[in-house]
Structure 1
Amino acid sequence: MIKYISLLLFFILGINHLHAQEEYQNKTYQSFIKTVECYNSSKEQSIPVINLKSNETITFGFDDLRGGQHNYGYTIEHCTWDWKSSRLNILDYLEGVQQDIIFNYRYSFNTLVKFTHYQLNFPNDQMKVKIGGNYILKVYEDNNPDKIIITQRFYVLNNTINIGAEVVPATEVADRNEKQKVNFTLFHQMPINNPFQELKAVVMQNFIPQTAIVNTKPSFVKPGSLVYNDINTNHFWGGYEFRKFDTRSFRYKAEHVADIYRDSTQNVILSIDLPNTNNRYSNQFDENGNFFIRNNDGRDNITDSDYAYILFTLAAPPPTPKGNVYVFGRFNNYALTEDNKLTFESSRRRFYGNIKLKQGLYDFKYVWVDENGKLNETVFENSYFETENSYQIFAYHRRPGSRYDELVGFSNISSVKR
């Protein structure tokens, strides 16, 4: 009997351990949840990083397309550098209540698609964090923490390390016209006995999770600084500037819009997109994948902006026999889901897809995912060293004997000096 109970406990603990090791993503779990936004409140669509024990806040919001008023609660969990649960006691990282309700909501006005917008600012009077690091915000319905509808990443910075960074051409001569390389140095004044074990630095391009590269070994360790400039690390495809479209008004056809018509909802047909086959880079401005909710037809961007079905068309053959094309941008968390997948019509050699989006300005790209799940951002867009990209560097420190990774440095730089 004792042996049976021991096996049962081992099994249960094993399941809990596996569950705790899941990587948290930016994700929506219900199709009626749209337009999730999360950014530092000081600037719309900025990287959601705030300083510890400062007056800075994260603005988080979403729309519920069922309309009416629903009961949404939320909680916060501390994560490791690679977005798994830190498994800390909630009292170690959270001050105030452990769960709270989202009280701030507004109804849509004068729109064909009825929705309710929910908004939250964090930290707030009810809940604050005590330590730096990666955090996941979990939103759930009906006071039931198991009915999760959104998970959203954000960062709390305890800034003890300064980061100096630069973007240079790739080391290999063959890659110099297509790739960008990030070199950086961590400047610190704290004792770091074993940088190979205590420190990790994550580099991302345009805040796209799939691009993250982890650095664990500095090339040079100097007094007060750690240099990461190994010739074989931190290479990124330059890609090309994001494509974009403008649906701020349904009364006229703005940038990249071919047609607009109205039935039970608004419908927008975008101009047909072609693969970029230019051998040379041509400069054009983009927002590095961001989107901005705007409308010229109403008075309030949040409540008066309607939803429309946006028809994307890519006139291109599949690059390999098996795989899928996805529309990719911050508006969908760069997620590769059924909602953002295009269908190929072989007779016309075109990919099509309808995506329901709120009025505004949108950046997007077409990406190819082959049968092995490998993502290719350049097959339809090409790649140039001259492309303007933003790079984010996150530095994490786990002190000897500590049970968590603390975010101690952050830098956001552009590949082009404007």
Structure 2
Amino acid sequence: ANSLNTTTFYTNYRLFLPNNDIKFKVSGNYVVKVYNEDRPKDIVFTACFSIVEPKVNVAATVSSNTDIDVNKEHQQIGFEIVHPNYEITAPQSDLKVQIYQNNRYDNMVKNIQPLTIAKDRIIYQFNRDLIFEAGNEYRRIEFLSNKYNGMGVQRIQFHRPYYHIDLYQDRVRSDKPYLYDQDQNGQYVIRSSQVEDPDTEADYYIVHFSLASKPIVNGNIHISGNLFNNVLNENSRMEYNEDARQYEKSVLLKQGTYNYQYLFVPDGQQKGETAPVEGNFSQTSNEYRIMVYHRPFGSKFDKLIAVKRINFPE
């Protein structure tokens, strides 16, 4: 469907799976590749998703009382896989468990071994690999119209062919006290005021982010959140403006409500750190996702047999 009454013309595509042509035979991870019809090797974008077949139960807890500190800067997750009616012969080799914090890929935990293996329970506890930086609440912005400034918006201007959104300058929070905010842990929602279908009637704006800070050496600052699919690469990396003494990034975004945070990525590494800009506070609300894959002996693929989400605090 083509866009309607927008300054930026676009086409919105929607694909339903399964459909009359495609049925899923097995669980696990999938990827949809979208390419130019005349140039199959020219991949426009990819979309990743997973299909789960629930075979086991997962019981999990998150605590700020960790093996590193108590109620300070970290959160530790512990869980057990309960499988009274499903056979797992060799958990150490047949199971693959992945743990995500707020859908981030850079600090995803994998290749962990259980602490205890009982008859119908596999227990993962007191593992230092399951300790995460607590971080801080995500920053929030909202721009639903070009008629008024939304949350976090300083000004709206039109420079052909786009509307431009200047956000209020962000500041480092690592040296500030923790302040609760009801965020959505990095997610976004496409919305626009006074329209019936945001998929085709919401407009695209160029949004200008800025972070007041001295240059942080030996690394880069990235904007993290679902707006960049939680991938830390050149698309999310900010540039430093010496004259303005701030990090800057301009992003083409569709109208809506967005969560984001600033991560520092040291040179030569791929894992982002919250401490330099956002700070770490044990009270921070975070969502954790546990994905359990099983490849029995002789099988050729990993079945996704459980997905568990848990919020801290519950």
Q: Residue in 2 aligned with 1:301?
A: 198
Q: Residue in 2 aligned with 1:381?
A: 278
Amino acid at match of 1:352: E
Q: Residue in 2 aligned with 1:259?
A: 155
Amino acid at match of 1:142: E
Amino acid at match of 1:267: H
State the alpha-carbon separation in 2 of the partners of residues 213 and 173 from structure 1.
Answer: 17
State the alpha-carbon separation in 2 of the partners of residues 349 and 263 from structure 1.
Answer: 25
* Structure 1 residues 181-330: aligned runs within 5 Å: 181-188=76-83, 189-264=85-160, 265-320=162-217, 322-330=218-226
Q: Note if contact 1:294-1:361 (Cα within 8 Å) is conserved in structure 2.
A: yes
Deviation at 1:266?
Answer: 0.5
1:218-271 CA distance string (max 9 Å, x none): 101111110000342301111001101111111111110001111211111000
Count how many residue pairs are aligned between Structure 1 and Structure 2.
311
* Structure 2: gaps (5+ residues): none
Amino acid at match of 1:281: Y
State the alpha-carbon separation in 2 of the partners of residues 240 and 225 from structure 1.
Answer: 34
* Structure 1 residues 93-108: aligned runs within 5 Å: 106-108=1-3
State the alpha-carbon separation in 2 of the partners of residues 385 and 335 from structure 1.
Answer: 24
1:109-148 CA distance string (max 9 Å, x none): 1111110111101111110111111111222221543222
**Secondary structure at 1:302 match in 2:** helix
Larger Rg: 1
Q: Residue in 2 aligned with 1:132?
A: 27
Q: Residue in 1 aligned with 2:46?
A: 151
**Secondary structure at 1:212 match in 2:** coil
State the alpha-carbon separation in 2 of the partners of residues 233 and 372 from structure 1.
Answer: 21
State the alpha-carbon separation in 2 of the partners of residues 373 and 400 from structure 1.
Answer: 35
Deviation at 1:317?
Answer: 1.2
Deviation at 1:173?
Answer: 5.0
Deviation at 1:355?
Answer: 0.8
Q: Residue in 2 aligned with 1:404?
A: 301
Q: Residue in 1 aligned with 2:247?
A: 351
**Larger deviation, residues 331-340 vs 301-310:** 331-340
Q: Residue in 1 aligned with 2:56?
A: 161
Deviation at 1:175?
Answer: 5.8
Deviation at 1:278?
Answer: 4.5
Q: Residue in 2 aligned with 1:64?
A: none
Amino acid at match of 2:226: R
**Secondary structure at 1:395 match in 2:** strand
State the alpha-carbon separation in 2 of the partners of residues 302 and 215 from structure 1.
Answer: 39
Amino acid at match of 2:281: Y
**Larger deviation, residues 165-174 vs 405-414:** 165-174
State the alpha-carbon separation in 2 of the partners of residues 191 and 297 from structure 1.
Answer: 54
Deviation at 1:371?
Answer: 2.0
User: Normalising to structure 2: TM-score of the pair?
Assistant: 0.94
State the alpha-carbon separation in 2 of the partners of residues 338 and 160 from structure 1.
Answer: 39
State the alpha-carbon separation in 2 of the partners of residues 143 and 416 from structure 1.
Answer: 50
Amino acid at match of 1:168: S
Q: Residue in 2 aligned with 1:117?
A: 12
Q: Note if contact 1:197-1:216 (Cα within 8 Å) is conserved in structure 2.
A: no
Pairing 1:174–2:69 present: yes
State the alpha-carbon separation in 2 of the partners of residues 378 and 137 from structure 1.
Answer: 35
Q: CA RMSD in A?
A: 1.6
* Structure 1: gaps (5+ residues): 1-105
Amino acid at match of 2:244: R
CA distance change for structure 1 residues 191 and 341 in 2, over 3 Å: closer, same or farther? closer
Amino acid at match of 1:324: N
Amino acid at match of 1:302: D
* TM superposition outliers: structure 1 runs of 4+ over 6 Å: none
**Secondary structure at 2:103 match in 1:** coil
Q: Note if contact 1:199-1:216 (Cα within 8 Å) is conserved in structure 2.
A: no
**Larger deviation, residues 340-349 vs 180-189:** 340-349
Deviation at 1:281?
Answer: 2.0
**Larger deviation, residues 275-284 vs 233-242:** 275-284
Deviation at 1:282?
Answer: 1.6
State the alpha-carbon separation in 2 of the partners of residues 412 and 349 from structure 1.
Answer: 40
